[in-house]
Amino acid sequence: MKKVGVAILGLGIVGGGAYKILTQNRDFYCKTQNVDIFVKSVLECDKARIESLGVPQEQIAENIFEIVSDPDVNIVVECIGGITDARSYVIDALNAGKTVVTSNKELICKYSHELERTAKRLNAGLYFEASCVGGVPIVRTLLDGVQSNKISSIEGIINGTTNYILTEMSKEGVGYQDALAAAQRLGYAESDPTADVEGFDAAYKLSILSSLAFHTKVPFSKVFREGISSVTPEDISNGSDLGYTLKLLAVGKDTGDGIEVRVHPTFVKKSHPLAGVDGSFNAVYLTGDAVGEVMLYGRGAGELPTGSAIVSDIIYAATHEGSRYSTFKNNATAEKDVKFVSDFASAYYMRLDVTDRAGALAKITAMLARKNISIVELLQKSNGAESATVVLVTHSTHETAIKNAVSRINASGVASVRSVIRVLS
């Protein structure tokens, strides 16, 4: 039976998960995949972690050179994170002709061009299923499951931390800070939660998934990004009254006029399949010209789910040696030839405090109409004798039109706009 040696760089959550799966399921893969995949070495400086995973002494490597020069190592798994050591180790491994499997979304997002070039030159494989949406096989699906389609849109709940926080806020009616604290207590959010709550993590993943879906490089810098830290329970509750659930949505579209990529809080109709994706679950909903709508749902993070993606890539690499360039092979359009759309179209939810009630509504709708913004739904709630809250949802319009309208309303004196949230239409 063919033997495939694996080295794991970094035994944190994901690397440790991959180590456990490979160790526990080795016989199972011999039987079902006809290949003996074994851990040859690990690179990890945390001795306590090595001990808790029960790594035997002979698997512990001193440094990256020991690993890349080892002829028994066929596949190098990078689970270090960050983009300094990780990048140089991955380049070293590829330069030594090793196939690389990584969970590092920032690395793939920012350096896929360089890594891909190196991999091709050395006839090494480069796999990164684990970089996007944990155990959900969305990369494999884009490459080998719906590749017959021109994909027009990809919409995803692809960050578990923010989805947990928004689900808590929706179901328990608590504020953002309380929900964040709960997420931190449960280990769903880090002590510095910026990367998750401000949408960086989702934006890295969206850059990767859009690059695959639209067959070009979609740079991180093109991703419009707005986080969830200013979301209020009031807006969530108003949205719910209008039939919406609030999600941090990553949206990639190829409209024909160009590509738009954006991560922001989004109201989703409760009847939409994405609306029911709660807590730490993730999902990606895509639309293709032939397949129509497809959704993949599952655990977007965690030791074993993300480890599952790592090990599925390892098995794929071990059993598909004749067709290695399965990764970014689809990048047909050079980045410079792609048009990116920043003034994208969307429907919008808006909450306004209306101070002067008599005639104020008519003035607001007139100001919106002047920007060609029409209203689908409007709710007025009295806040007492002299003021009211108005909540409205518009038909599809454009980002600049809404921004202009908001400035105009705020300058008018009859109302002030308290929040603007995009609505999936």
- Residue 418 CA, chain-centre distance (Å), reads 28
**Size of the residue set binding a second copy (CB under 8 A):** 58
Binding piece for a second copy, criterion CB under 8 A, among 32-40, 48-56, 63-71, 93-101: 32-40
Among 5, 15, 16, 137, binds a second copy (CB under 8 A): 137
> How far, in Å, CA of 251 to CA of 266, rounded?
10
| Complex with a second copy: residue 326 or 394, whichever CB lies closer | 326
Q: Are 161 and 247 in contact (CB under 8 A)?
A: no
- Asked if residue 149 binds a second copy (CB under 8 A), the reply is yes
16 binds a second copy (CB under 8 A): no
Per CB under 8 A, the list member of 105, 215, 262, 371 interacting with a second copy is 215
Nearer to a second copy, 147 or 387 (CB): 147
Q: Is 307 in the site for a second copy (CB under 8 A)?
A: yes
* Closer by beta carbon to a second copy, 96 or else 136: 136
Judge whether 218 and 251 are in contact, CB under 8 Å.
no
Residue 188 is a binding residue for a second copy (CB under 8 A): no
What is the DSSP track for 227-246? -STT--HHHHHHHHHTTEEE
Stretch that binds a second copy, among 96-104, 195-203, 322-330, 385-393 (CB under 8 A): 322-330
Q: Which residue has the tokens 């003996």?
A: 36
CB of 283 to a second copy, least distance (A): 8
* Per-residue binder mask for a second copy (CB under 8 A), 268-297, x = binder: -----x--x-----------xxxxxxxxxx
Round to whole Å and give the CA distance between 300 and 134: 4
Q: Alpha helices, DSSP H only, in 251-354?
A: 303-319
Residue type, position 231, single letter: V
Q: Which of 205, 217, 222, 253 is catalytic?
A: 205
Tell me how far apart the alpha carbons of residues 413 and 360 are, in angstroms, rounded to a whole number: 10
Among 23, 95, 141, 387, binds a second copy (CB under 8 A): 141
Give the pair of three-digit tokens for residue 245.
């659930």
d(CA 72, CA 268): 50
Instruction: Give me 310's structure tokens.
Output: 């790592």
Q: Is 105 assigned a catalytic role?
A: no
DSSP state, residue 359 = T
Q: Which stretch binds a second copy (CB under 8 A): 7-15, 58-66, 323-331, 343-351?
A: 323-331
Question: Which residues, other chains included, contact 288 with Cβ-Cβ below 8 Å and sequence gap of 6+?
Answer: 146, 148, 149, 150, 151, 152, 294
How far apart, in whole angstroms, are the C-alpha atoms of residue 157 and residue 277? 8
Residue range at the interface with a second copy (CB under 8 A); choices 27-35, 77-85, 253-261, 365-373: 27-35
| DSSP, res 168 | H
The catalytic site residues sit at 205
Binding site for a second copy (CB under 8 A): 17, 21, 25, 28-29, 31-34, 129, 135-137, 140-141, 144-150, 215, 273, 276, 288-299, 302, 304-305, 307-309, 311-312, 314-316, 319-323, 326, 329-330, 332-333
